[in-house]
Each structure stands twice: as structure tokens, then as C-alpha cells.
Structure 1
Amino acid sequence: MVRGITFVGIPVSDQDVALKFYTESMGFKVATDRPFTDTQRWIELLIPGAETGLALYTPEGHESRIGQFQSIAFWCDDVFATSAILKAKGVSFAQEPKKEPWGSTAIVKDPDGNQFALSSNGKQR
């Protein structure tokens, strides 16, 4: 029986730049960083306190996915507070934090222009 998601892939153009962003700005931890092909490494990251990880890897033929909206939502306790912390670390936003009827949301951008939702439930602001 399926029990969860091990990792979600994020297509990136430069693994070193992406690794720096996701570890230094977003606070993720390296689980694996090893050669995978002649030109790429397999980089798997863990989100502290979460069971699902991220893989900074672009399969051959999927380069067009780089810089697009990714169907990934990161959750946090408070979108407004987390956004302020991330902005102080130089993280860009495609959408500023805002309150919605179901909770709060913002759209984060990585160095490749990939966009991700950042959300929290309705208990904030």
C-alpha cells in the first residue's frame, strides 16, 4: 500500500545555485549529494520536521519545466512571519502574502524562476 511521498523533484538549471538557495535561504538540509550522471548530481534535501524531501534534478528532456509554476505547496505556521524571514534572506516572491478565506498564501520564487505556494491555515491574521 502507498504510504507517502519520498521526494518531489524540482527542475533546476544549476544545481550548485539551487543547492545554495534551498539550504541557505529556505533552511532545508542535504540528505544526499552524489554523482548521478556524467553531468549531474543527485541532490536530495530534507525539510526539517517533514517526511517528504526534495530532489534538485532535471531529467533529460524536461528542461522546459525549469522556471515554471510547480504544483508544490510548502506549509508553515504563519505565512506572513515566514515570508518576512525569507525576504530578509533574499528570497523573491511572485505574490506577496495575503489572507484567503481558507488561510494565508504567498508565492515564492527560486533562482530559476520556479514558483511554489507557501501556505498556512486560517489561524493567522
Structure 2
Amino acid sequence: MIRGVKFVSIPTRDQDRALAFWTEQVGFQVATDQPFDDKQRWIELRIPGADTRFVLFTPTGHEDRIGGFTSLAFWSDDLDATYAKLTAAGVETLGPPRKEEWGSSLLFRDPDGNTFVISTK
């Protein structure tokens, strides 16, 4: 039986730049960073305290996925505090958290232009 999500891929053009962004600005931790082929490394990141990992990797032929809206959503207990922390770290947000009837959300971008949503759980 399926028991969970092991990892989600975040497409990137520059793995070193992406690694610095996700670890230094967002606060993820490196789970593994090893050679994959002659062009890329296999870089898995984790959110402290969470099981799901994120891979900074773009399969050959899928470069067109870089820089769009992702189908990945993060969650936070406190969007206002998350917004303050991200903006203080220099992360590009698309405005402060928005409160809607269905809940609250916050959008941000990584250096490759990938857009992510953070919502309340």
C-alpha cells in the first residue's frame, strides 16, 4: 500500500543557487547531495520535523517546467510569522498573506521564478 509522499521535485536551472535559496533563506536542511550524472547532482532537502523531501532536480527534456506555478503547496501554522520571516530573509513574496473564506494563503517565488503557495493547514 502507498504510505506517503517520499519527495517532490522542484525544477531548477542552477542547483547551487537553488540550494543556497532553500537552505539559507527558507530554512530547509540538506538530506543528501551527491552526483547524479555529468550535468546534475541529486539534492534532497527536508523541512525540519517533516517527512516529505524536496529534490532540486530537473529531468532532461523537462526544462520547460522551470519558472511556472507549481502544483506543490506548503502549510504553516502562522502565515503572518512565516511571511515576516521569508521577507526578512529576502524571499520574493507576492504580497502579504491573503485571507479568504476557505482559509489563508501566501505566494512566494524561488530564484528560478517557480511560484509556490503556503496555506494554513
- TM-score, normalising length: structure 2: 0.96
1:101 maps to which residue?
101
Alpha-carbon offset, residue 39 of structure 1: 1.1
Q: 1: distance between equivalents of 2:43 and 2:54? A: 8
Aligned residues, how many? Answer: 121
Name the SS for the 2:5 alignment partner: coil
Residue segments in structure 2 that go unaligned for 5+ positions in a row:
none
Identical aligned pairs, as a percentage? 59
2:20 maps to which residue?
20
Alpha-carbon offset, residue 60 of structure 1: 0.2
Q: Deviations over 1:23-67 (max 9, x none)?
A: 011100000100001011000001111110100000000000000
Residue segments in structure 1 that go unaligned for 5+ positions in a row:
none
RMSD: 0.9
> Are residues 1:81 and 2:69 paired?
no
Show structure 1 runs of 4+ deviating over 2 A.
none
Preserved CA contact (<8 Å) 1:67 1:115: yes
Preserved CA contact (<8 Å) 1:94 1:115: no
Alpha-carbon offset, residue 102 of structure 1: 2.2
